Structure 1
Amino acid sequence: MSHIEDNIVRAGYRLPPPAVPAGLYLPALRQGDMVYTAGQLPLKDGKLVEPGGKGKVNEINQLAATTAAGTALLNALAAIKAETGSLDAVERIVKLTVYVASESYFSGQHLVANGISSLLVEFFGEKGRHVRSAVGVAELPLDASVEIELIAACNPS
């Protein structure tokens, strides 16, 4: 197990197997020393996690959506590992994009993203600090509450 995976386990999480694409795309793509993930949903065993993985986010269910977003992060990290062979190959998490299916009056998308940012720093230390966008959207695939994308700089292959 890699050092980063040890950090994930110590934090109380488990890296899942990489998700099988639901369409004509790759879960992650390595181009040079960068790995780009496709949008990752809070899926576990092919289903949206409950609570918080489905539906629109508002002040009432924001915490549950933040927890569900952690599942989407683990899926993104599994996709990166599949491309690099080990999460220890990650030199830096460069960018995190978080899409939050939001009620029209909800403006706390950044709070949902903060939970993922905190996990990245917990897992990767300073290498987990990144730039970020948190975006409210009307709908996401499968009525998911959140979808994330990561860009990671990795050791040359």
Structure 2
Amino acid sequence: MTGTVEAKLAALSITIPAASAPAANYVPFVISGNLLWISGQISMANGSFMTGKLAGEADIEAGRAAARQCAINLIAQIKAALGDLDRVKRVVKLVGFVNSAPDFTDQPKVVNGCSDLFVEVFGDAGRHARSAVGVAQLPFNVSVEVEAVIEFA
């Protein structure tokens, strides 16, 4: 039987990929009490990196799409950790890192691609605290990386 969150994802034509394995010496998530801490998920879809420095090789819309893909990858990790996406009680915090040219200042607009999807999928439980930070470089030259803290039942 499909849960409420899975039904919303299906209605949005979003297929959740298998959760990606860590690329180095860390774990993809940690559960402590009723909080799920998810390591940064990069903008990667179907094995391909979504790359480019914002206000350089990529524009805000490309950045928003990359951040949205980070949200999908975060949801994959939530599913791997909890088994059932309906166990999400609250998206507590997102931290978004945006690969930014020195004069780029619209990181919040980019990270909205992730935030908007979380609210669309989880409703009010998807509203969260957030940081959107510009960085000089990200692994594999990806445009965006986002980490999350999730409260679950």
Unaligned stretches of 5+ residues in structure 1? none
CA distance in 2 between counterparts of 1:65 and 1:92 reads 25
**Higher mean Cα deviation, 91-100 or 8-17?**
8-17
**TM-score (norm. length: structure 2):** 0.94
Asked if the contact 1:96–1:148 (Cα under 8 Å) also holds between the matched residues in 2, the reply is: yes
Equivalent of 1:105, from 85, 88, 103?
A: 103
Q: In structure 2, what is the equivalent of residue 10 of structure 1?
A: 11
CA distance in 2 between counterparts of 1:28 and 1:73 reads 15
CA distance in 2 between counterparts of 1:2 and 1:26 reads 27
- Once the two structures are superposed, what CA deviation does each residue of 1:1-28 show, in whole Å capped at 9, x if it has no partner? 3211211121221111110111111111
Q: Matches of residues 54-69 of structure 1 in structure 2 within 5 Å?
A: 54-58=51-55, 61-69=59-67
Q: In structure 2, what is the equivalent of residue 132 of structure 1?
A: 130
1:25 and 2:26 aligned: yes
Counterpart residue type for residue 71 of structure 1: Q
Equivalent of 1:88, from 82, 86, 89?
A: 86
Counterpart residue type for residue 3 of structure 2: S
User: Once superposed, what is the RMSD of the aligned Cα atoms?
Assistant: 1.3
Asked if the contact 2:66–2:113 (Cα under 8 Å) also holds between the matched residues in 1, the reply is: no
1:47 and 2:57 aligned: no
Percent sequence identity over matched residues?
Answer: 38
Asked if the contact 2:16–2:73 (Cα under 8 Å) also holds between the matched residues in 1, the reply is: yes
Asked if the contact 2:70–2:114 (Cα under 8 Å) also holds between the matched residues in 1, the reply is: no
**TM-score (norm. length: structure 1):** 0.91
How far apart are residue 58 of structure 1 and its match? 1.4
How far apart are residue 37 of structure 1 and its match? 0.6
Give every structure 1 segment of 4 or more consecutive aligned residues whose post-TM-superposition deviation is greater than 3 Å: none
How far apart are residue 45 of structure 1 and its match? 3.1
Unaligned stretches of 5+ residues in structure 2? none
CA distance in 1 between counterparts of 2:121 and 2:52 reads 28
CA distance in 1 between counterparts of 2:113 and 2:67 reads 8
CA distance in 2 between counterparts of 1:24 and 1:76 reads 19
